[in-house]
Amino acid sequence: MEQVTLHGDGISATIVGQGAELVSLRNAEGLEFLWQAGPEWRRHSPVLFPIVGRLKGDQLRHGGQVYPLTQHGFARDKPFVWAAETSPRSCTLVLTDDADTRTRYPFAFRLAITYTLERRELGVSFEIANTGDETLPASIGAHPAFNWPLQPGLAKTDYHLTFAQDEPAPIRRLKDGLVLAAPRPTPIEGKTLALSEQLFEADAVILDRPASTSVRYAAANGAAIEMSWQGFKELGIWSKPSGAPFLCIEPWHGLASPVDFDGEFADKPGVMLIAPGERRVLSYQVRLYHAPL
């Protein structure tokens, strides 16, 4: 099957097999919360695996060998297999290594992604299993793009992100897709990040060790989203630097290569090391709130 639409209490979600990508997230009133892949950006919510961001020179180094691997990896462009346990509220999709992936990423793995609806909440679980006989180095990230604004009649600048904790730590920025060595002062004031197109003129805002594990995306009134996560270590916040009507809130485990990093992939900051026969589970949730304007 090409796609599945799950239905919960006051929420529906559509997932496609290509890339195991979430392509629609609606509430009971029919309001679409997810960006619908317009010309500004042709994706909805890609899965970032086995890397997050770019590697220096788009090259993965392992055991003295060099492998070509482009930004965010290959999972988002690979067909996943639907697991048998699909239900009206839940589905699981699986990707395993093959001859194609091993030319770019020379490791054995199994990636299972499960989508589950519960009341007004979508839960997404990533399970990475090492099916080989050597340590599996991997990064993974979520990249959901939400409409910005969420509803007609509001301006982009009406919206803000409110974190669960104060976020005083400096942020990271990118240059040509790589992480700059020097951190930058945070634009977050206390728990609040005011949103504007100008915020993304220097690309993504990256919290490399956020204090919070949840954030609320909202204006003073109208629809809102609360996102929480477990197992992820970094958070990216992104929209097109040229301006686009979507906002990405991205829990990551891993991030782009530092500009001065030339080492082996397993030694890159943010990479998980999974022993043979072991697995790692990371997850996030999106709760929808609807209020008429």
* Tokens standing for residue 42: 């042709």
Residues of the chain with pLDDT under 70: 1, 292-293
Amino acid 84: pLDDT: 86
DSSP, res 211: S
- For residue 74, count other CB atoms closer than 10 A to its CB: 18
DSSP, res 101: H
Amino acid at residue number 6: L
Amino acid 1: pLDDT: 67
* Tokens standing for residue 288: 């929808």
Closest CA to 68 of 57, 79, 52, 53: 57
What CATH number does residue 59 fall under? 2.70.98.10
- What are 72-131's pLDDT values in tens digits? 999 999 999 999 888 999 999 999 999 999 999 999 999 999 999 998 899 999 999 999
Amino acid 292: pLDDT: 66
- What are 22-47's pLDDT values in tens digits? 999 999 999 999 999 999 999 999 99
Local structure of 76: helix, strand or coil: helix
Amino acid 291: pLDDT: 72
Q: How far apart are CA 171 and CA 164, in angstroms?
A: 17
Amino acid at residue number 2: E
Amino acid 251: pLDDT: 99
Instruction: Outline where 47-127 has alpha helix (H).
Output: 99-102
The answer to whether the pTM exceeds 0.85 is yes
Q: How far apart are CA 60 and CA 56, in angstroms?
A: 8
Amino acid 293: pLDDT: 57
- For residue 33, count other CB atoms closer than 10 A to its CB: 25
Per DSSP, what are the bridge partners of residue 189? Answer: 192
* Tokens standing for residue 24: 């629609």
Number of domains into which the chain is organized:
1
Q: How far apart are CA 282 and CA 109, in angstroms?
A: 15
Residue range(s) defining the domain that contains residue 18: 3-289
Distances (CA, A) of 117 to 9, 18, 88: 8, 20, 9
Amino acid 157: pLDDT: 97
9: buried, middle or exposed (CB in 10 Å: 19+, 13-18, 0-12)?
exposed
